[in-house]
């Protein structure tokens, strides 16, 4: 009886890791890097994680702190214009706080740090 194309009985399987396969094909090309390069990479990952955390926290701030306008149609009560004006001012204040935090934390702190670390990592001579 002959085997079918999908029949795996009798075939020998061998597991090969990508690192060992690459080391065989390209000897000497896989290097861990110097201590400073590895430290720079770790620092980059930490700063990138901090940037992501700050971004998520800022968007959560806007999501939870922004007051909602009262429903414009289908409501049984008539909305007071001074109340709507007060909500509009609060929304403007929340967005102003958000923009200030984005400007200070992300644009003035995190992005220059990430750019400097990447410039250090890619600017090094092997």
pLDDT digits (tens, 9 = 90+) for 11-25: 666 666 776 776 677
Residue 7: its pLDDT value, please? 58
Task: Tell me the DSSP string of 19-88.
Answer: HHHHHHHSTT------HHHHHHHHHHHHHHHHHHHHHHHHHHHHHHHSPPPPPSSS-SSPPPHHHHHHHH
CB 83 within 8 A of CB 70: yes
> What is the band of 122 on the pLDDT scale with cuts at 50, 70, 90?
confident
Rounded Cα gap, residues 58 and 105, in angstroms: 10
Taking only the tens place, the pLDDT of each residue in 66-117 is 888 776 666 666 667 787 888 889 989 999 999 999 999 999 999 999 999 8
**Is 58's pLDDT higher than 70?**
yes
pTM: 0.62
């Amino acid at each position: 009886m002959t085997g079918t194309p999908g029949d795996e009985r009798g075939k020998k399987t061998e597991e090969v890791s990508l690192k060992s396969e690459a080391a065989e094909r390209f000897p000497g090309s896989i290097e861990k890097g110097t201590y400073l390069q590895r430290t720079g990479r770790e620092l980059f990952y930490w700063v990138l994680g901090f940037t992501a955390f700050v971004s998520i926290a800022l968007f959560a701030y806007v999501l939870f702190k922004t007051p909602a306008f009262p429903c414009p149609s289908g409501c049984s009560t008539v909305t007071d214009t001074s109340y709507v004006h007060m909500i509009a001012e609060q929304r403007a204040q929340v967005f102003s706080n958000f923009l200030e935090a984005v400007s200070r934390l992300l644009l003035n702190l995190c992005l220059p740090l990430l750019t400097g670390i990447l410039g250090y990592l890619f600017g090094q001579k092997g």
